Homo-oligomer: A and B are copies of this chain.
Amino acid sequence: MNPGDLSTPPARPVVEDASHPIPTAQIPKAVVRRLSLYARALQRLEQAGREKVSSEELAKILGCKSAQVRKDFAYFGQFGTPGLGYPVSSLRQEIAKILGSDRELHVAVVGVGNLGSALLNYGGFTKQGYRMICGFDADPSRWHETGPAKIPVYPVAELGRRIREQKIHIVVLAVPAEAAQEVAATCAEAGAEGIMSFVPARLRLPEHVRVHQVDLALELESLGFYVR
């Protein structure tokens, strides 16, 4: 590991460039999930005025082992100092960057029925740097502002145009199953980067669009009543 070895990959197994860590390996989905949990924990610690935190303490908060915490962070670079732990504030920012939540991602909901309007006005989304822009629906009776935040609902016909014009990054799908594929395709074509779908239907979309499916009925069933 001496300076003469620089032509061969140096002692930096995962990170390409220290200033802007780009993960070379595929990051396990479980790690990405935990990243959000770390972000929240660090946010709380920061508000409480803490400057440093150890992997041990983060592990306690998340309910996992400290080795896992250290390994998770190691996917993205070196953030800690042996003997001292991790710097709360800058680690939080680093993770926000990794998750894209430093970008103020613009979110829209398509399908403003019961579930859709709940999601449109769900406070939890706005906390971590997401901004709810608008809703879309096919039904004219729903084309009005909703909830205390007065979020507007537009005709679904305007979906593509508004995604482009208002730079909507993420679309939340809460439409009937029959409509899902067509709506999702429109979103993808208009340049939406991610789709969170609450519709129990398989979506066929171009590779570069991130898709995350949430199936509420499945979640309920996965309580698994007979099995332990």
User: A: which residues have CB within 8 A of B?
Assistant: 23, 26-27, 29, 32-33, 35-37, 39-40, 63, 97-101, 103, 105, 107, 113-115, 117-119, 121-122, 124-125, 127-128, 130, 147, 169-170, 172, 193-194, 196, 200, 202, 210, 212, 214-228
**For A193, what are the chain B residues with a Cβ–Cβ distance below 8 Å?**
225
Bound Cα distance A222, B38 (Å)? 12
Question: What are 17 inter-chain pairs, A to B, with CB distance below 8 A?
Answer: A33-B218, A35-B221, A35-B224, A36-B221, A36-B222, A99-B224, A101-B225, A114-B147, A115-B122, A118-B118, A125-B217, A127-B217, A169-B225, A170-B220, A170-B223, A212-B220, A212-B222
A217→B124 contact, CB < 8 A: yes
Q: Which residues of B contact A103 (CB under 8 A)?
A: 225
